[in-house]
Amino acid sequence: MMEKKRIYIVDDEVLIARTLAAIFEESGYETEYFTCPRALLRAAAISPPDILVSDYAMPELSGIELVRKIFALCPTCRLFLLSATELSLIQKCVAEAPTPNFTFLSKPVRVVQLLDAVAHAHELCDEHSREAQLSIHGLAPSMHLQPNGS
């Protein structure tokens, strides 16, 4: 059985953070929500998330600053930034993203769209985990195992 993926959610509006956590938990993820980006960083230092869903505009730390800090703590984390901001800021955030594991979604985001994006990231996490296991055993991820035969 596959281990549940851990999702950290941060939004300074508690109702949004709590609602997103409930939606992801109902979809089979292990979730923890925060209203303070610094509290999330403290938790991530102890138990890194597989996936982060963050608001962009928060009082203590912007979402892009948080994404950079999380990436430094856990470079395999899939990062989602949500914002109701203008297109130029979206383009700037995407250009400044520290990792290809980064997705920017414009608010209002449909729940189905967010769940699909995270499910895709979940699949990529599993794929990378399988590749890491293969490399531990000395096999390249692209290698195909074929039976010895004549």
Question: Which residues have a Cβ under 8 Å from the Cβ of 98 and sit 6 or more positions away?
Answer: 67, 68, 71, 72
User: Average pLDDT for residues 1-7, to the nearest whole number?
Assistant: 77
Supply the mean pLDDT for the chain: 78
Q: What is the mean pLDDT of residues 9-20?
A: 95
Q: What does the pLDDT look like over 27-54, one tens digit per residue?
A: 999 999 999 999 999 999 999 999 999 9
pLDDT band at 1 (very low <50, low <70, confident <90, very high): very low
Report all structural domains of the chain as residue ranges with CATH numbers, in order of start: 6-136 (3.40.50.2300)
For residue 16, the model assigns a pLDDT of: 92
Give the per-residue pLDDT at 21.
Answer: 96
Reply yes or no: is the peptide bond before residue 75 cis, omega within 30 of 0: no
pLDDT at 124: 59
DSSP string, the chain: -PPPPEEEEE-SSHHHHHHHHHHHHHTT-EEEEES-HHHHHHHHHHS--SEEEEES--SSS-HHHHHHHHHHH-TT-EEEEEE---HHHHHHHHHH-SSTTEEEEESSPPHHHHHHHHHHHHHHHHHHHHHHHHHHTT--TT--------
Quote the pLDDT of residue 98: 59
What is this structure's pTM?
Answer: 0.76
How much is the pLDDT for 23?
95
Residues 84-134 have pLDDT tens digits of 876 666 666 666 655 667 787 878 888 898 999 888 876 755 554 444 333
Cβ atoms of residues 61 and 88 within 8 Å? no
Look at residue 119 in the predicted model and tell me its pLDDT: 87
Question: In terms of pLDDT, which residue wins out, 140 or 86?
Answer: 86
Task: Look at residue 137 in the predicted model and tell me its pLDDT.
Answer: 38
